[in-house]
Amino acid sequence: MLMTTRRRLHTTLIALAICGLLPMGAALPAAAEPLWTESQGASVPSELARLNELMHALAERLKPALVQVRVRRPAEPASEGTAPHPTPDEPRRTSGSGFVIRQDGYIVTNAHVVADAERIQVRLADGRRFDARLIGQDNRVDLALIKIEATGLPVAALGDSNRLRVGEFVLALGHPFGLEQTVSFGIVSRKGAPLQVAAPGFDFIQTDAAVNPGNSGGPLVNMAGEVVGVNSMAARNGSIGFAIPVNLVKGLLPQLAEKGKVEWGWLGVTIAEVDEDQAPKYGLTEPRGVLIRQVVAGQPADQGGVKADDVVLAVDGTLLEGPRDLQRIISSTPVGRTVTLKVLRSGKEQELSVTVGAYQGPGVSRVPRRSPAPPRPHP
């Protein structure tokens, strides 16, 4: 039997050689060399191992409170002169992120995520889906509060963004590009960056943790696992992200919950910084305060006697270094409250009482009231 098997093998090898598949006299190929080298159990340095464990545990702890926000908007009508859309009646669908702040279903996200939505759906980390209703939104800071009908939900704890320092490690959580439960790592690269011209003087958090489309509304978290910001905007390549400071969020949420909007205070003026060259002109020994460029007729500043070319030095005793200080103080002052402005007019200090009004938005009629022109001599 053994001889028969050997003969068959010999006959097969001869046949392969005749067909050109095996050179005559060649031996059977030896075992192939491995294509890679297996690690022999290399270990991570202990300091990095502890950091790895911290980051993993932190991400796992935070993910349950992270949600995906899916939005359906009405179809856009075709513009005149453009080619018709293949499906003109098809609604537009987008998605963003958010996080649960209360066990009974209150969720924070961005205003631009849910703007003009005809339906909002929330997908929880455990896969459950709920329809959500909009409780309130503010477009100036890009913040929105929505709610789902659920109980016992895991929540994200809010921290203190004022204690956040440049250079600290942070995590950005969200659902970029529709991907689920994504975590990116970076540092706080800057504080004090306004997102847009309309933003009322508050400091936004800049980070190099990757923030991409779909991350909007997700939390920015410190190494203690506390939410310190709400991711809102990013550079086009995602290399720089901006987040709304959580202390500002905490100040706005009660108004969103009660009124559905934020009533920002305003004076009705256009303002500018006093530079070194201008300081002597206004009677200042050094550049400080806020220059009033124009006063909107009929608005709070005008009614309180503020005039163009006044320099506001303080509000209720709080000294002003520049325009953003005035913006921040007035915008966060309750509408209807009277404040005392210390102004410098024609080199003399005086105090004016002004009742803070409600911010009217970009649509308000801004007819400026300038300082009266000096009388022209008769010809």
Residues identified as active-site: 112, 142, 216
Q: CA angle at residue 121 from 117 to 126, to 5 degrees?
A: 160
Return the residue matching tokens 């024609």.
346
- The candidate with the shortest Cα–Cα distance to 263, out of 98, 136, 162, is 136
| C-beta of residue 269 within 8 angstroms of C-beta of residue 311 | no
Query: Quick one: tokens of 291?
Result: 């220059």
| C-beta of residue 326 within 8 angstroms of C-beta of residue 333 | no
- The H-assigned helical ranges of the chain are 2-18, 46-62, 111-114, 246-259, 300-303, 323-331
State the Cα–Cα distance between residues 292 and 160, nearest whole angstrom: 33
State the Cα–Cα distance between residues 318 and 58, nearest whole angstrom: 40
Amino acid at 199: A
How many CB atoms are located within 10 Å of the residue 356 CB?
26
- The candidate with the shortest Cα–Cα distance to 225, out of 192, 183, 195, is 183
| C-beta of residue 58 within 8 angstroms of C-beta of residue 173 | no
Residue 367 DSSP code: -
Q: Give the residues across from 170 on adjacent strands.
A: 186, 222
- The candidate with the shortest Cα–Cα distance to 211, out of 178, 244, 235, 247, is 235
Query: Quick one: tokens of 122?
Result: 């929330």
> How far, in whole angstroms, is CA 93 from its chain's centroid?
20
How many CB atoms are located within 10 Å of the residue 340 CB?
13
